[in-house]
Structure 1
Amino acid sequence: MTLFNQINSLLFTMFLLIMSSLVYFQFTETKAFMVEQMESDLNNTVTSLSLGLKPHLEIGDEVAANTLVNVIFEGGFYKKVQLTWLANQQQEVWENDIAIESVPSWFSNLALFDTQSKEVTITSGWLQLATLKVEANPAIGYRELWRIMNDTLMVLSALFLLSVMALRFRLKIILKPLDEVAKHARDISQRKFHSKMPMPSTTELKEVVVAINSMSGQLKHVFNALDDEVDNLKKHTLCDQVSQLPNRLYLTGQLNSWLSEPDFGALLLADMSWLDEIHSKYGYQMRDKTIKAFAIKLSTKLPQSDETLVARISNTEFAFMIRNAEKEQISHYLQSLIRLINEEIINAGFEPNKHFAIGVAQRSENISREELLSQADSALQKALNEQKTNHWFYLETEKAFSRETWRTQLVKAIEHSDFLFKWQPIQQCNDNKVIHREIYCSLEVDGKIMPAGQFMPYIEQLSLGSKLDRCILDAIITDNLLSINNTPIAVNLSRKCIMNADFHIWLSSYLDKVTHPEKIHFETSETAITQNLASAIQLRDIIETAGAKFGVDNCGRQMGSLTYLQELKPDYIKLDMSLSCYDSETDKENLQNFELCQALVNIAKGLSIQVIITGIEDEKHLQTIKPLRADGYQGYIMPPVDIVKE
């Protein structure tokens, strides 16, 4: 219950108690007054009536006596009058029914007034003439008591309602600063900082507002310091200080992450010896200036900028990692790179197509980082030795299917739900309890099981991501996977689902039909989110409104800031495999990754976001990341397993 309602309830109860007390005292006092009034009236009436009857009784004038009694009785104030002539024991009785106009029958049946009667003997000297007995009519008491209490209740009720309305209005004004304090506190918990709140007029609340303003400023400074720490760590450890491009360490991590996922593409290594020529002729300052200008053009003018990583790995060597690209696209990228290099060489006063060489190694299935780097370096050395601008490292591999054949196979598989599923547990760091299980799919073609690594790149290229996601989500319900165990299932959505409005509508309808939506977790890559943050927030809203959870995959892969987490507010993040680390002082690369992971965990904890570390290889690796105090882990330590249906 809110403070406003608590205070309002307390005052309401006290005011109601006071009103009830007033009504009670008014009721008892009025009743007592009416009893005394009826008793006094009864005494006066009996006395005056007996004196009035005496002359008529002395002469035996019965008619006059009856007339006098009738005059008194017809006023209706008396229930019964009884006159007994003692001479002949003749008795006259007058009675009235208790009929009370404008008074409810239930009120008159409460027996609030006891019967009041008075009996006297009328004498003439020593001679007893008659007895007179008069019984008061309680109707007058009920009528007056009802009228007075009715008026009292109406007045008090009106005062009560007016007082309550005035009290609520005044309380809202008084407690408005507290509402602002609560709003600021909620926003602070979500890392939203506003300007300082104005000082309220209430002395006690001034201290609260001052404390909140001070805390807001300090926390803003702390959170900004955390963001700056991450940015500085990235710039210091993962960025080349001259070109401001990613360095060898960042490239290594990205290669590890890229090769762990289903994809295709190529790695290009380029030797720019013409930069040494500039150094020898004009000095290192001109060389560094040229490198900066050249780096800007490499980052902005080459095609597929979102899918390509450009890094400077030594004084004159650059690396280009091209994701999600086939040979034709790689060749197009290579020609664009050669043209761009020649433009810079000509601007520097050198002959084109000289003083540089490029080695190209195309990614193959199950290739390791060391093998891909070795192939690219071999191609580079071959180009240098033969004085060519480029050389491809050819590895004879046979493609399973052509692009169009894959289209046919995948469309058919999606339409008929032919995918096979496995899942991998994500466990808590403190007790190894399963947080959720991430689902993976494979495909059987001509009796052969095709892992996701072989067809997922074509899913993206052929824009079949949203259809595959629908197929997987439908299969979760059709195959009743949610009932196999109590842990939720995580589904990794394709990047194009974020921008697909039709998928948003379909997902909302899908979640409405799911019996336990809280047992489904949705996640998508950081790259897809940062490129379409507004759409990602809309998708997150749909998911969280239904009761499901939303997570960010590959978090920390990009060089950019993590401020998008403040707007997105996911339930959990999975750190990218490029940040997989060991806490080893003898390995500078792992130690730097460890420090960066620690900063990322601190930022997420400040936003109440769960952190899951990926790429955990074995128990030793698990023990090294325990000091990070992450929430969960995932990796080859617990590989994906077949889903066993009951």
Structure 2
Amino acid sequence: MTLFRQINSLLFGLFLLVMISLVYFQFTQSRDFMSQQMQSDLNNTMTSLGLMLQPHIETGDMVSAETLINVIFEGGFYRKVTLTWLADGKEQVWENPVVIEGVPQWLIDLEVFGVQKKQSVITSGWMQLATLEIEAHPGLGYQQLWRIMNDTIMILSLLFIISIFVLRYRLNRILKPLHNIALQAKEMGQRKFGQDIALPETTELKDVVIAINSMSGQLKQVFVTLDQEVSELKEDKLIDQVSQLPNRQYLSAQINNWLNEPGFGGLILAKFDWLEDIHSKYGYQGRDQIIKVLSARMVAELPGIAEGVIARIANTEFAFLLTKAEHHQIQSYLQTLIRIINQEISKAGCNANTKFSLGVSQRIDNMQPSDLLSQSDNALQQALKEGKVSHWIDAQQPQKYNREQWRTKLENAINNNHFMFQWQTVSAMRSEEIIQRELYCRLSIDDKVVSAAEFMPFIELLSLGGQLDRCLLETIEQQNIIALTKQPVAINLTHDSLQEPEFAQWLTKFLQQSKHSQQMLFEMPESALISSFEQCQKLTEIIRSAGAKIGVDQCGRQMGSLDYLQKLQPHYIKLDQSFAFYEKLNQGNEMCRALINVANGLNIDVIITGIENAEQLQHFTSLRADGYQGYISAPEDISQ
């Protein structure tokens, strides 16, 4: 029972006790008063009637005596009058039935008023003439008692109702700080740190609120400090201090991630020899200033053309990894880059289109990081050798279908549910227990199995992600795939789905009708959370309300803050594969440990990805991660 209800019940009980006591006191006082009134009236009537009857009884005038008694008796205040003539023993009785109007029978049955009667002897001198006995009628007493009690109960009830409303209002006002404290404590338990609670007027509660605000502020500061630690480690290990661009190590990890996932795009390597001339003229400070200006312009203008990573990998060398770009987008990106470089060269007092070269290569199927870097470097060397601004090595990879053919075939395969599923186990770090399974899908196109690595780039390119996710979830439900395992099943959502309001509405109905919603885990990529947090948060609320859980994929890949974890409160995160890559370079554990500390501080489970073998897994065992997955346990076909 809540504190409000306990206090309310206590005061209600006390007030009810006081009211009952008042009613009882009023009842007894009124009863005694009416009894005394009836007794006094009876005495007065007996005296006056005896004096009036005496002369008539002396003369034996029975008619006049009866007339006098009738006058008094018909007033209705007496139940019975008995007159006994002592001379001949004749007895006359006048009697009224006990009929009381306007009084409930239960009150009459209580017999509140006992029998009240008075007897006296009428004499003449020393001679006794007759005996007179009068019994009072209780009707008037009951009527007056009922009226008084009725009025008393009505007034007290009205006061009671008004007091209850006033009491509830005042209790709400008084206890509101306690309610706020409870909410704040609950949010603190969920690692949510909102605004401080306003100080109440009550002195005792004010001290509690101050303590809660202080505790919340300290916990919030702990999270901010951990977040800053991760950011500082990333900046120290992965950021070039002059240009504030990612360095070679970060670029290598992102290339490795990109080639291990479905994607399309290319890599541009750039060598800016004109920066050496600037260094010769103005020293390293002048060169560094120009590098900062050039980097800022590239970061401001190039991402609008194609998504990617801009990195400084050496003193005069830069790299541009385009992670989502078609051939024409790479061309536009290259032209814009050349324009920016020439403008900065001219501002620095050098000749345009000189002293810099660009080597361009495009991603093809089954390409390794070394192949992509080697191909771009060959293109760069060719441009330097020929004295050209840029050189493009076009692998001329034969395209299986053109864009419209891909659209037609993908829509046909998706709408007809030509899915084939696999899943990969996610194991507990400290035991062999399987904590979840991640679902992968392939498509059957032209009677051939097409992997996600091949068709997902075109899903993103043609904005078919929402359609794919809807049909995929329907197929999972129809084929009852989730029922094949006891563990929760993780399902990755595409960027398109996370940004479509229609998908959120559809998912609400789907989860309401699904039999396995509580066994579903929905994963969102970190990049989508950073770019479209509000849409992701709305979708998260829908998923949670259905009993499903939320996970963050590729956590730690982006260079931004991790404050979205505190706002979103996912059930688990999967660290980006780059941390496993950094570990190979003996530089990953420190950043990985800091990120895990942030997650543990928010009570979020951590899964390390990209584990290739037992030896690599051994390096992560000292960290407080909850699980791992990777090529150490290959995906398995789902047999029904």
| 1:318 to partner: Cα distance | 2.0
- The 8 Å contact of residues 527 and 558 in structure 1, kept in 2 or not, is answered as yes
Write out per-residue CA displacement over residues 416-452 of structure 1, whole angstroms, 9 at most, x where no aligned residue: 1222223344455566665554332211123322111
> Are residue 598 (structure 1) and residue 620 (structure 2) matched?
no
The residue that corresponds to 1:240 in the other structure is 240
**Equivalent residue runs for 1:517-536 within 5 Å:** 517-536=517-536
The residue that corresponds to 1:154 in the other structure is 154
The residue that corresponds to 1:10 in the other structure is 10
Q: Cα gap change, 1:35/1:643 in structure 2, threshold over 3 Å: closer, same or farther?
A: farther
> Are residue 614 (structure 1) and residue 609 (structure 2) matched?
yes
- The 8 Å contact of residues 245 and 310 in structure 1, kept in 2 or not, is answered as yes
The residue that corresponds to 1:321 in the other structure is 321
Amino acid at match of 1:298: M
Amino acid at match of 1:232: E
The residue that corresponds to 2:464 in the other structure is 464
- The 8 Å contact of residues 424 and 639 in structure 1, kept in 2 or not, is answered as yes
| 1:43 to partner: Cα distance | 5.6
The residue that corresponds to 1:635 in the other structure is 630
User: Which stretch shifts more, 231-240 or 270-279?
Assistant: 270-279
**Equivalent residue runs for 1:246-645 within 5 Å:** 246-302=246-302, 304=304, 307-345=307-345, 347-348=347-348, 355-384=355-384, 389-392=389-392, 398-426=398-426, 429=429, 436-485=436-485, 487-514=487-514, 517-580=517-580, 589-591=585-587, 593-619=588-614, 621-622=616-617, 624-645=619-640
Q: Cα gap change, 1:21/1:302 in structure 2, threshold over 3 Å: closer, same or farther?
A: same
Give the SS at the match of 2:499. coil
- The 8 Å contact of residues 442 and 449 in structure 1, kept in 2 or not, is answered as yes
Write out per-residue CA displacement over residues 126-167 of structure 1, whole angstroms, 9 at most, x where no aligned residue: 987655554433322321221221122222223323433443
| 1:570 to partner: Cα distance | 4.1
Q: Cα gap change, 1:348/1:38 in structure 2, threshold over 3 Å: closer, same or farther?
A: same
Write out per-residue CA displacement over residues 292-342 of structure 1, whole angstroms, 9 at most, x where no aligned residue: 222223323336556111111222322221112334433443444344444
**Which whole-Å CA distance do the structure 2 matches of 1:56 and 1:633 have between them?**
122
User: Which stretch shifts more, 409-418 or 85-94?
Assistant: 85-94
**Which whole-Å CA distance do the structure 2 matches of 1:129 and 1:636 have between them?**
129
**Equivalent residue runs for 1:117-132 within 5 Å:** 117=117, 132=132
The residue that corresponds to 2:211 in the other structure is 211
User: Which stretch shifts more, 600-609 or 470-479?
Assistant: 600-609
| 1:458 to partner: Cα distance | 0.3
User: Which stretch shifts more, 376-385 or 308-317?
Assistant: 376-385
| 1:459 to partner: Cα distance | 0.5
The residue that corresponds to 2:139 in the other structure is 139
Write out per-residue CA displacement over residues 584-639 of structure 1, whole angstroms, 9 at most, x where no aligned residue: 7xx6x444x33223333333444454444333445555554455434544433444
Amino acid at match of 2:240: D
Q: Cα gap change, 1:580/1:23 in structure 2, threshold over 3 Å: closer, same or farther?
A: farther
The residue that corresponds to 1:80 in the other structure is 80
Give the SS at the match of 2:554. strand
Q: Cα gap change, 1:204/1:447 in structure 2, threshold over 3 Å: closer, same or farther?
A: same
- The 8 Å contact of residues 434 and 487 in structure 1, kept in 2 or not, is answered as yes
The residue that corresponds to 1:30 in the other structure is 30
Write out per-residue CA displacement over residues 187-240 of structure 1, whole angstroms, 9 at most, x where no aligned residue: 766655547845x44322332243244335434443332332222112111101
Q: Normalized against structure 2, the TM-score is what?
A: 0.86
| 1:32 to partner: Cα distance | 4.1
**Which whole-Å CA distance do the structure 2 matches of 1:285 and 1:17 have between them?**
87
| 1:72 to partner: Cα distance | 3.0
User: Which stretch shifts more, 249-258 or 463-472?
Assistant: 249-258
Q: Cα gap change, 1:258/1:28 in structure 2, threshold over 3 Å: closer, same or farther?
A: farther
User: Which stretch shifts more, 519-528 or 228-237?
Assistant: 519-528
Q: Among the aligned pairs, what percent are the same residue?
A: 53
**Which whole-Å CA distance do the structure 2 matches of 1:285 and 1:317 have between them?**
17
**Which whole-Å CA distance do the structure 1 matches of 2:64 and 2:41 have between them?**
23
| 1:22 to partner: Cα distance | 1.9
Amino acid at match of 1:614: T
Write out per-residue CA displacement over residues 83-117 of structure 1, whole angstroms, 9 at most, x where no aligned residue: 45566554433332333333234433444444445
Write out per-residue CA displacement over residues 385-435 of structure 1, whole angstroms, 9 at most, x where no aligned residue: 565554555657554433332211101112212222233444555666655
Unaligned runs of 5+ in 1: none
Q: Cα gap change, 1:446/1:201 in structure 2, threshold over 3 Å: closer, same or farther?
A: closer
Q: Cα gap change, 1:138/1:561 in structure 2, threshold over 3 Å: closer, same or farther?
A: same
Give the SS at the match of 1:140. helix
**Which whole-Å CA distance do the structure 2 matches of 1:608 and 1:526 have between them?**
18
Give the SS at the match of 1:71. helix
Over the residues paired in the alignment, what is the CA RMSD in angstroms?
A: 3.6
Q: Cα gap change, 1:484/1:348 in structure 2, threshold over 3 Å: closer, same or farther?
A: same
Give the SS at the match of 1:552. strand
**Which whole-Å CA distance do the structure 1 matches of 2:434 and 2:50 have between them?**
102
Q: Normalized against structure 1, the TM-score is what?
A: 0.86
The residue that corresponds to 2:20 in the other structure is 20
**Which whole-Å CA distance do the structure 2 matches of 1:276 and 1:45 have between them?**
134
Amino acid at match of 1:448: K
- The 8 Å contact of residues 311 and 319 in structure 2, kept in 1 or not, is answered as yes
Amino acid at match of 1:454: E
**Which whole-Å CA distance do the structure 2 matches of 1:223 and 1:338 have between them?**
43
**Which whole-Å CA distance do the structure 1 matches of 2:581 and 2:413 have between them?**
38
**Which whole-Å CA distance do the structure 2 matches of 1:68 and 1:256 have between them?**
126
Give the SS at the match of 2:315. coil
- The 8 Å contact of residues 78 and 96 in structure 2, kept in 1 or not, is answered as yes
**Which whole-Å CA distance do the structure 1 matches of 2:350 and 2:405 have between them?**
47
Give the SS at the match of 1:498. helix
- The 8 Å contact of residues 276 and 316 in structure 2, kept in 1 or not, is answered as yes
Q: Cα gap change, 1:150/1:356 in structure 2, threshold over 3 Å: closer, same or farther?
A: same
- The 8 Å contact of residues 521 and 550 in structure 1, kept in 2 or not, is answered as yes
- The 8 Å contact of residues 305 and 333 in structure 2, kept in 1 or not, is answered as no
**Which whole-Å CA distance do the structure 2 matches of 1:249 and 1:176 have between them?**
54
- The 8 Å contact of residues 197 and 213 in structure 1, kept in 2 or not, is answered as no
- The 8 Å contact of residues 421 and 643 in structure 1, kept in 2 or not, is answered as yes
**Which whole-Å CA distance do the structure 1 matches of 2:431 and 2:100 have between them?**
81
